[in-house]
Structure 1
């Protein structure tokens, strides 16, 4: 089954979230320190991913143009409004972060990264699901921590994660017919770097240093695809 990897991924996110809710009564100081720890780890992962780039200029242009497009369509606002809608429909009786914050933060962490795209492509092209299963295990452990600090909103991130990865998987079943291997490898490298910068932004937000609207940078991934394609065929 071509979507097996994505299904395993979201199941592990849901299980991790439910486990994390049982750990929600840990002291606030511990939660705060844990969140800082997660933030630092996320920053480190993002920096490591950024060094995958072979053309840093492509990364810079993609981030800038992606930010322009993201701000124009207000992607961050739309995602937050969806989170707020969930918060209204499922009000939390506990104090602390609302459903919207958990939903948005978890969605960005689980979606913005190379493993989501690489794993989905691998599932579509070769019907191999090891990458997505590995990602699911990591997401499951992350969701335990996130849900213990940010609440049940983390669970709802499973929906956009599945839609995102399933779409890429289904499209990639046809990608080998149109995209040369060299072009695909170049796109993956630059996309990983752009995604890495976004993950750095997520980590800094978790720590509380910044309030970057990371969702508005996501169109940068589409910009990467366009630029890499142009460079491939022109040079």
Structure 2
């Protein structure tokens, strides 16, 4: 077990680097999640509301929104990061570091989350919506007090899936200097041929993903049995 002994000897030097990388990853993911919900949730609602038989049927609008979402989802994230470098520089003043990485992370996650929101809202019982219509509820009221509350467990599950995807995306952001654990894996693990750093970053990413997934599962279970 010589490798374990060597790992223990190197751990005091590795720990600060890995901890800072974890903080950068969490910073990127938390801000990207905020922007994803801010834009992805209304987009998902519009995808459902403008569909045939929706609250505000508008097939042409639905087709345009669907096309935009499909284009956003079809781009591999590594390609998307490069494609929006100019926009990233315009918004943040740089293309390097965790703050810059928030831009492509958000753009990549918004259409993904919007489709999950659409799926969750479609699972709401149509009878509940029709009953609200019959009682004279306005469209905005139906969305805020019927659709979203009834779909909340599905929305939380979709958000958890999105956060896990963002953690994966943030690791890829390290390939172009985005910082975080992905950057450590590339610079310390791959470029320096240091397996200790490589596998340590993998372990940290797994821990973060498991923590997010476990918290999400608990919330979904509680909301489903309220």
Which of 1 and 2 has greater Rg? 2
Higher relative contact order (Cα pairs below 8 Å, separated by 6+ residues): 1
TM-score of the aligned structures, taking structure 2 as reference length? 0.33
TM-score of the aligned structures, taking structure 1 as reference length? 0.32
